[in-house]
Each structure stands twice: as C-alpha cells, then as structure tokens.
Amino acid sequence: MAPPLLLFLLLLLPALAAGHQHPSSYGSSALSEWRPAKASYYAADPEDAIGGACGFGDLGKHGYGMATVGLSTALFERGAACGGCYEVKCVEDLKYCLPGTSIVVTATNFCAPNYGLPADAGGHCNPPNHHFLLPIQSFEKIALWKAGIMPIQYRRVKCLREGGVRFSVNGRHFFFTVLISNVGGAGDVRSVKIKGTELGWLSMGRNWGQVWHINCDMRGQPLSFELSSSDGKTLTSFNVVPKDWEYGKTYTGKQFLL
C-alpha cells in the first residue's frame, strides 16, 4: 500500500489539474483548433474606432467597439478574413499573462508588414508570421500591458451578433457599392450576389475589405443579396433594400443561423 503522503499527493494531483483548466465558453462555437501566434497592442483613442482596412468605418456604430484586431499578411487574406471572429488567449508567459482569460475579437483591420526588417527581428506582421495587433483595451483583458509582444494561441469561433446583417449602400449611377457588416456565424463574406427586379442574380467583386461593388445601375428597384461565408453557408435576403433606397443608407436583412 502507498505511504499516506504519496497517496494524498496522488489524490490531489487530478484536483490541481482541474483547478487550472479554464474551459472556454466559446468551445461549442469553435470553427478551428488552437494555433500559435504572437500579439502586440497599440494605444487606441476614440478616433481609432473609425476606419480600418476592412471598410467598416465607425466601429462603434457597427457594434464592434474596441473588441477588434488587425491581422498580419498571412491571416488577412487580402480582406477575405474581414468580419471573422477569433478567440485569443495569452500562453507561456507566467509573468504577464492573466490566467484563465480569453477574449473574442473581430477582424477589422490590417497589420501592415515592414519589409525593412526581418520577420524574426522586428517585422512582426511580415509573412509568414501570424500576428494580432490589438487595441490596448483588448490586450489588457488577457495580459498586462508590460508584456509588449507576447505568445498567444488563437482559434476561429462563430460570431455572435445582435440583429440582422447590415447592408450599407453607396456609389454613383453605374457604380454601386455595399458594405456588409454585423455578419453572424463565420462572420466573413467570401462571395456576394445581387439581384434587382429588372435583373437576374449578378456576382459582385470585392472592392476592399467587406466593401463589394458592381458596375451596374441598380436605382429604382428593390435589391436582394446572396452571401456565402467561409464555412460554406449561404444566406439570401430578398428585397432587403426597398425600391426607394438612397445612397448612404443602411438596411438590415436576415442573419446567418448559428
């Protein structure tokens, strides 16, 4: 029979292990496995919540706030990753990590490479690095700001959105654009089709980020959209934009089912 002290330690070890496991509340929403990367932060002020390489404009207005991230070249996919959600947690750094914490952020920007520096010596967002540039408000949810550049793990998760997908229309005469935001599920949009009452389904091109365009006069007719995301799901919103639509206005359609 094992000595009393050894027996006590054997019984205690499983409890200690369980005490350091912090199961994520997003586990059932995971779209990919945990992967290694690095993260850094920038000191964000209110003006930083407007703009970005994905075209979302005012991030507060569109519901993203500061729970956002700029992705390095290897992750950004020339804008195809825009709108996707990532769960991020700090790892390996016992001095600066906040144990048991994670944050879900939306891809809204691009972390530009610096080809004047090597990828392993200052060029943090250079290919092939997987790097997350976070507002300090998000960074401090998982680590102390003194950490600077730190190792993390990330995974794609489903985006939980309130309300439907938003279609912000713009353009002029024969040039029509739509910004697609507040997308649930996979969060990204990989292809878009548009249909008016006078035309059949037409494919739109990615202008930049999640701004899509078509060279066609769409005025004077209700508009329907068909969206496809990276998880293979398709969403069709019929006549989401009414016949009397106006440039600069936003219209809300259906939402992807989780």
Q: Supply the CATH number for residue 213's domain.
A: 2.60.40.760
Sort strands 35-42 and 103-110 into parallel, antiparallel or unpaired. unpaired
Same-domain check for residues 181 and 143: no
What's the structural domain count of the chain?
2
The residue ranking higher by pLDDT, 136 or 14, is: 136
Q: Note whether residue 204 is domain-resident.
A: yes
Q: Note whether residue 6 is domain-resident.
A: no
**In the sheet where 175-181 sits, what is the strand order?**
205-208, 211-214, 175-181, 166-172, 250-252
Supply the DSSP symbol for 237: E
Same-domain check for residues 112 and 182: no
- Candidates 128, 145, 126; CA nearest to 136 is 145
Same-domain check for residues 112 and 172: no
Q: Note whether residue 205 is domain-resident.
A: yes
Confidence (pLDDT) at 43: 84
pLDDT score of 171 more than 70: yes
Confidence (pLDDT) at 107: 97
Cβ-Cβ contacts under 8 Å for 34 (sequence gap 6 or more): 153, 154, 155
Place of tokens 């092939």: 128
Confidence (pLDDT) at 92: 80
Same-domain check for residues 37 and 62: yes
**In the sheet where 234-241 sits, what is the strand order?**
202-203, 191-196, 223-228, 234-241
- Give residue 117's domain range: 27-155
Confidence (pLDDT) at 111: 96
Average pLDDT, integer, range 84-106: 93
Q: Note whether residue 43 is domain-resident.
A: yes
